[in-house]
């Protein structure tokens, strides 16, 4: 079965200091550390494109595994901030920049914070249906392109990062288990770009996540005949420290929910794989629940199981 | 049954806010005893879930203390 074998990451070295931003917006250090969570917010270099971030993550992946670029026969990029104006699809640009084979199947997925959970199954299903062997699923959604510098609600929250997940049936580390997906387009207006800039109604997003995401995770566990106790780690989309704490508290799983966004901020679809990369080879990470939620309002949750 | 001061205090305790529970009185401004905007969001969500009372964004500004909150719930509860 096609699963996850390795994950490459790219986090730009250039970053905004969130404590500096806090001073500008009249917030204190505690607010940055315990409410927002991101202390340093990476931003891609001027002149860099989404495809460049994707290529850096892909390069990092290729440094970790014994894989030729010619072996890659499927490339999927998850982004809502593609190169240029979005035409052509960013995955085609990555194919050229990265020097991948012209026989690669390449397409983009337009999803935000739920994108990784959706994308894993999309890539797996597509590869199985098309008889493909070696897929790379990239997340690269640089919100620095759309964030409003004058809006504390968003400029203090988001950071740029990219990831590249190798998907293959050749000894995967994690196999994909049960999953659940949901959409509430009624909430679409609360996290949206208007005139090229990001707008977020924090209260509406918080209410959505605190209620529906938690319910979805519990529903998923029930479907799989599992309880919170059976799960080794919960890897949740790192929306903010406050969101993570709220979900962890509602799940009654504070010691199992991983928090990792101090040096990244909210990296949209990259937040889950950035954490997954860190625990990929931990023996105790036998059963994991990943969950992404946000833009749309869209959400997805999935069980990952160590394959051996 | 009317919602009372103690019901709201219990709810605030459960909501894991930064509010100093000992300092709570009916009329103290919640912002003055440790609540920030995120805590207030959390409290309003808890009210919505527990009492089934939806609080539109336009009404939030007036709900600064427990007395105002209990009055609001009691006048909107079904």
Please report, in tens digits, the pLDDT of each residue of chain A (308 residues total): 999 999 999 999 999 999 999 999 999 999 999 999 999 999 999 999 999 999 999 999 999 999 999 999 999 999 999 999 999 999 999 999 999 999 999 999 999 999 999 999 999 999 999 999 999 999 999 999 999 999 999 999 999 999 999 999 999 999 999 999 999 999 999 999 999 999 999 999 999 999 999 999 999 999 999 999 999 999 999 999 999 999 998 999 999 999 999 999 999 999 999 999 999 999 999 999 999 999 999 999 999 999 97
Contact of B69 with B29, CB cutoff 8 Å: no
What distance in Å separates the CA atoms of residue A212 and residue A237, rounded to the nearest whole number? Answer: 14
With CA atoms as reference, report the closest residue to A295 among A156, A116, A152. Answer: A116
Contact of A172 with A2, CB cutoff 8 Å: yes
| B34 to A125, A293, B17, B28, B71: CA distances (angstroms) | 49, 29, 8, 11, 22
On the question of pLDDT at B16 being above 70, the answer is yes
ipTM above 0.85, yes or no: no
Q: How many CB atoms lie within 10 A of CB A213?
A: 29
A170/chain B closest Cα distance in angstroms = 45
- With both helix axes pointing from N to C terminus, report the angle between B5-14 and B37-51 in degrees, rounded to the nearest 10: 120
Contact of A146 with A279, CB cutoff 8 Å: no
B62/chain A closest Cα distance in angstroms = 16
Residue A281 structure tokens: 């080879």
Any idea what the Cα angle at residue A4 is, between residues A272 and A131, rounded to 5°?
130
Chain A 29-88, CB below 8 Å of chain B: which residues? 31, 35
Any idea what the Cα angle at residue A197 is, between residues A191 and A203, rounded to 5°?
30
Interface with chain B: mutation pick from A32, A245, A246, highest number of B CBs within 10 Å: A246
Residues 6+ apart with CB under 8 A from B41: A202, A203, A206, A207
pLDDT band at B1 (very low <50, low <70, confident <90, very high): confident
Q: Which of B36, B41, B49 sits opposite A203 (nearest CB)?
A: B41
Contact of A112 with A295, CB cutoff 8 Å: yes
* B75/A contact by beta carbon, under 8 A: no
* B38/A contact by beta carbon, under 8 A: yes
Any idea what the Cα angle at residue B47 is, between residues B42 and B53, rounded to 5°?
130
Prediction pTM value: 0.93
Whether B57 sits inside 8 A of A203 (CB atoms) is: yes
By C-alpha distance, the chain B residue nearest A240 is B38
B48 contact residues in A (CB cutoff 8 A): 207
Contact of A205 with A190, CB cutoff 8 Å: yes
By C-alpha distance, the chain B residue nearest A245 is B16
Q: How many CB atoms lie within 10 A of CB A251?
A: 21
Whether A206 sits inside 8 A of B38 (CB atoms) is: yes
Residue A209 structure tokens: 């996540």
pLDDT band at B61 (very low <50, low <70, confident <90, very high): confident
On the question of pLDDT at B59 being above 70, the answer is yes
B5/chain A closest Cα distance in angstroms = 24
Residue A15 structure tokens: 């970053």
* B63/A contact by beta carbon, under 8 A: no
Residue B73 structure tokens: 């719930």
A86/chain B closest Cα distance in angstroms = 35
* A227/B contact by beta carbon, under 8 A: no
B41 contact residues in A (CB cutoff 8 A): 202-203, 206-207
Q: How many CB atoms lie within 10 A of CB B40?
A: 18
With CA atoms as reference, report the closest residue to A141 among A112, A107, A108. Answer: A112
Burial A72-99 (b: 16+ CB within 10 A, else e): bbbbbbbbbbbbeeeeebbbbbbbebbe
Residues 6+ apart with CB under 8 A from A109: A76, A77, A78, A79, A115, A118, A119, A122
A207 contact residues in B (CB cutoff 8 A): 41, 45, 48
Whether A207 sits inside 8 A of B57 (CB atoms) is: no
Q: How many CB pairs under 8 A join A and B?
A: 23
| Whole-number pLDDT of residue B78 | 66
What distance in Å separates the CA atoms of residue A163 and residue A59, rounded to the nearest whole number? Answer: 10
By C-alpha distance, the chain B residue nearest A248 is B16
B36 contact residues in A (CB cutoff 8 A): 31, 35
| DSSP code for A266 | B
Q: Which runs of E-coded beta strand occur in A85-211?
A: 105-109, 134-140, 162-168, 174-183, 191-194, 197-200
């Amino acid at each position: 079965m096609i699963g996850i074998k390795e994950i490459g990451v790219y986090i730009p070295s250039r970053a905004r200091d969130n404590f500096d931003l806090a001073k500008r917006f009249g917030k204190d250090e505690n607010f940055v550390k315990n409410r927002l969570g991101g202390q340093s917010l990476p931003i891609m270099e001027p002149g860099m494109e989404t495809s460049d971030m994707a290529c850096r993550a892909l390069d990092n992946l290729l440094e970790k595994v014994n894989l030729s670029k010619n072996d890659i026969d499927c490339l999927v990029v998850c982004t809502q901030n593609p190169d240029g104006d979005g035409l052509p699809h960013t995955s085609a640009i990555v194919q050229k920049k990265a020097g991948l084979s012209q026989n690669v199947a390449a397409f983009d997925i337009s999803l935000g914070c739920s994108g990784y959970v959706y994308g894993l199954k999309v890539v797996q299903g597509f590869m199985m249906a098309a008889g493909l062997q070696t897929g790379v699923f990239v997340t690269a959604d640089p919100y620095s392109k759309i964030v409003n510098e004058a809006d504390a609600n968003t400029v203090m929250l988001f950071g740029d990062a990219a990831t590249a997940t190798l998907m293959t049936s050749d000894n995967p580390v994690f196999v994909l288990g049960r999953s659940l997906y949901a959409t509430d387009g009624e909430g679409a207006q609360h996290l949206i770009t208007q005139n090229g800039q990001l707008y977020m109604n924090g209260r509406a997003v918080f209410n959505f996540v605190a209620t529906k995401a938690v319910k979805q995770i519990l529903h998923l566990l029930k479907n799989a005949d599992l309880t919170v106790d059976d799960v080794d780690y919960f890897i949740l989309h790192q929306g903010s420290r406050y969101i993570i704490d709220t979900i962890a508290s509602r799940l009654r799983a504070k010691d199992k929910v991983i928090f990792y966004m101090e040096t990244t901020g909210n990296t949209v679809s990259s937040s889950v794989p950035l954490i997954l990369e860190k625990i990929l080879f931990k023996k105790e990470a036998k059963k994991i629940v990943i969950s992404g939620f946000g833009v749309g309002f869209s959400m997805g949750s999935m069980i990952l199981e160590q394959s051996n | 049954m009317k919602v009372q001061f103690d019901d709201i205090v219990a709810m605030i305790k459960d909501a894991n806010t930064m509010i100093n529970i000992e300092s709570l009185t009916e009329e103290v401004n919640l912002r003055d005893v440790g609540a920030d905007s995120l805590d207030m969001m959390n409290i309003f969500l808890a009210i919505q879930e527990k009492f089934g009372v939806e609080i539109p964004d336009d009404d939030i500004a007036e709900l600064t203390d427990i007395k105002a909150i209990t009055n609001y719930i009691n006048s909107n509860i079904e």
